[in-house]
Amino acid sequence: MLIGFMGAGKSSIGRALAARLGFTLFDTDAIVEEAAGKPISELWDTEGEEGFRASEHDAVLQACAGSGRVIASGGGAVLEIRNYGILKGAGTVVYLRAPADVLRARVGIALDRPLLREAGAFDRLLAERTPAYESAADLVVDTEGRTPDEVAVDIAGQLA
């Protein structure tokens, strides 16, 4: 189970880790988009945060139902109490961590990320979410200056 802020590398590291372990990647954001038939930004605009979070919860349930999986969760999934226990019960929770300036550079302008539309939202959200990521994590792995494959090797080694 990979958690972390936007731009931490959950999807790309998840792909690399799943390939290394011979597992299947379940990316909750991709599951939400596939079920909705539209990008998260459009789902957010039509159904609001409450509708998105309901869809995200369904995606978490789907992603966590089975074994042999690497799960890349949405950045806010672990913040929802109804998801927290499900995610923790799915296996080792790995917090992918990077400094704010690295995350900001990876995310870029991010017009497709509804939560970043307000001025100052990035810093506020990062400050709000970091304690939750740290609390939920069984492992903390830094991603700055490392390729997804390098991080996947590190995680696989720590899980062995």
Burial class of 91 by CB neighbour count within 10 A (0 to 12, 13 to 18, 19+): middle
Q: How far is residue 94 from each of residues 62, 91, 103, 120, 128, measured CA to CA in Å? A: 19, 9, 17, 27, 18
Say what the pTM is: 0.91
Could you list the mean pLDDT of each consecutive 10-residue stretch along the chain, which spans 160 residues?
A: 94 97 96 95 90 95 94 92 90 96 81 63 91 95 97 96
Q: State both tokens at 101.
A: 């300036």
Q: What is the pLDDT of residue 120?
A: 74
pLDDT tens digits, 125-160: 999 999 999 999 999 999 999 999 999 999 999 998
| Local structure of 95: helix, strand or coil | strand
CA distance 73 to 49: 16
